[in-house]
Amino acid sequence: MSKFGGNKTAPEAGFDFSRRRFLTGAAATAGVVLATGVMLYGVPASAASSRQADGTKRWGMLIDVNKCEAGCDVCVHACGQENGLTGFDRPKSDAQWIRKVNLTDKATGKEQSLPVMCQHCAEPPCVDVCPTGASFKRADGIVLVDKHNCIGCRYCVMACPYKARSFVHEDLKNQKSHAPRGKGTVEGCTMCVHRIDDGKSPACVQACAEKAGGAMIFGDLNDPTSEISIAVSRYATSQIRADLSLNTGVRYQNL
């Protein structure tokens, strides 16, 4: 855990009034018989009962650029659909959580195409510059914006070397209930945190596997048995702007 992420990851869990929920829910499954709630005063309720973002994990992605076709934007569409990213047909100001970038090697003429989104850095500059603590890194390595605290200053937009953050300029309606977003706040790829918390993979990864070349692998970089860890230990992979030493969670192969 980085020193930056550690500070801004999470407030203390275990507030007094989750006690009742502990009583009615988890206590029953744990088989603890409680005549009254009194004995629970000494017990930190959430530590005993709740599932937290797992600090032993580091969610990441590996993108094989050779399998990513120029002109294919299945991942971009999947992201927009999943997170309800409606635009106003104004590409310069519409939100963009993931985009396709085409590269040409001037010396050889070799062309490549790759998706670029929030790279979920271990040392995220967006978190460093955020004046309100809205930009934060979760214990499992996902970099997010807590829009409740975001004042829309856009420091993070300037700080991010990947141009991964967008600002919402206009009033929105009919947002997805799992992806609230609104005018005056900054947003970016959440790695589909709502899906990850449900044990699913991000929408772009799933769409790429189902409808395109299967160029994206999602998984836990800290688990040596995961598909992504095996792949990054076996093949040469790279980070975009590795010179910045941000230790990105999104890595590229054959770039």
Partner 1 sequence: MLGKKTYILFGLIALVVLGFIGKQGQSDDGKIFVPTIPKAVGGECVAPPEVMRKSHMVMLKHDRDLKVKGSNLDIDTSLKDCIACHVVRDDVGAPVSVESPKHFCRACHDYAAVKIDCFSCHNSKPDETMPMMTESPHPIAWTEDEAPKDEEDE
Is residue 29 a contact residue for partner 1 (CB under 8 A)? no
Identified binder of partner 1 from the candidate list 20, 200, 211, 241, rule CB under 8 A: 20
Supply the minimum distance, in Å, between the C-beta of residue 20 and partner 1: 5
The partner residues of 64 in beta bridges, in order of sequence, read 253
Residue in 149, 151, 154 with CA at minimum distance from that of residue 133: 149
Cβ neighbours for 90, distance < 8 A, ≥ 6 positions apart: none
Identified binder of partner 1 from the candidate list 113, 175, 247, 254, rule CB under 8 A: 175
Q: Which 40-59 residues touch partner 1, going by CB under 8 A?
A: 46, 49-53
Is residue 169 a contact residue for partner 1 (CB under 8 A)? no
Centroid of chain to Cα 41:
35
Cβ neighbours for 178, distance < 8 A, ≥ 6 positions apart: 194
Is residue 170 a contact residue for partner 1 (CB under 8 A)? no
Is residue 171 a contact residue for partner 1 (CB under 8 A)? yes
Identified binder of partner 1 from the candidate list 24, 108, 225, 233, rule CB under 8 A: 24
Q: At what angle do helices 74-83 and 203-211 cross, to 10 degrees?
A: 140
Is residue 17 a contact residue for partner 1 (CB under 8 A)? yes
Is residue 144 a contact residue for partner 1 (CB under 8 A)? yes
Interface stretch with partner 1, choices 86-94, 99-107, 143-151, 204-212 (CB under 8 A): 143-151
Identified binder of partner 1 from the candidate list 10, 32, 230, 231, rule CB under 8 A: 10
- List the structure tokens of 39: 């004995």
Interface stretch with partner 1, choices 75-83, 173-181, 205-213, 222-230 (CB under 8 A): 173-181
| Residue 45 · residue 19 · CB < 8 Å | yes
Identified binder of partner 1 from the candidate list 99, 176, 222, 226, rule CB under 8 A: 176
| Residue 90 · residue 96 · CB < 8 Å | no
Interface stretch with partner 1, choices 97-105, 108-116, 166-174, 211-219 (CB under 8 A): 166-174
| Residue 22 · residue 151 · CB < 8 Å | no
- List the structure tokens of 250: 């999104």
Supply the minimum distance, in Å, between the C-beta of residue 167 and partner 1: 14
CA distance 12 to 47: 10
CA distance 28 to 131: 42
Which residues contribute to the site for partner 1 (CB under 8 A)?
Answer: 9-13, 15-21, 24-26, 46, 49-53, 136, 138-140, 142, 144, 146-148, 171-178, 180-185, 197
